Structure 1
Amino acid sequence: MADRATPNLPSADFERTAAFYAALGFETGFRDDGWMILHRGPITLEFFLHDVDPLKTIASCCIRVGDLEGLYNSFSNVGLSDSCWATPRIGAPHEEAPGLRIFYMVDPDGNLIRCLQDRSSEAA
């Protein structure tokens, strides 16, 4: 197995979290009374039960992918709001720095998910 890290994010309601991420193509790999692991291909997100205020949480993670536009299209097809005041919501891809494309998503618990693709090392 390749080295990897998996973010651990708070969830106030596993049912709601699982349903939200299932719409984005994630499947539940493990779940008990206090922990849940979701997979979407090579992407793994882990959640722990915690009473979280979606307007005040500071939880976040980065997902680095090879096809940012494809992931964005998949995520945006589920009808997420693009309003900066909505929870959940999604922001359009943009260039953050030369060669670095990014979009963000905020889930129902206010977790900020940054999705990035580094194109600076790709062949021209």
Structure 2
Amino acid sequence: MVGFVSSVRTIYTGPAATSFASGANETRHVAGGANAASGVEETSFAQTMADVLTDTAADLKSAEAASISAVRGEASAQQVVEAVMEAEMSLKTALAIRDKVVSAYQEFSRMTI
């Protein structure tokens, strides 16, 4: 999840670091020089989506492992709840992103050329 947020910040810039949250989305396309100087790594949209899905799958697996550990008596209820809540948040985020991508695709398909 943290990787996704940092990737979004590399894509969207604005007057402050909260530009993405505030809705002031200004897309910046910089080839090499400026990003290299600022230490920000550019990633593609496809790579960002792959990272989100990988992180979500990892969170789901860790929640499952925590649940199994709790059944065996090796983990506390608090650890299980924290792992499951993190997995739930990651899954909800991934589903929301998927819904927005599908919605955008449908909007593009309705456009006349």
Q: TM-score, normalised by structure 2?
A: 0.30
Say which structure is richer in helix: 2
Give the structure with the higher percent strand: 1
Which structure ranks higher in relative contact order (CA pairs < 8 Å, sequence separation ≥ 6)?
1
Higher Cα Rg, which structure: 2
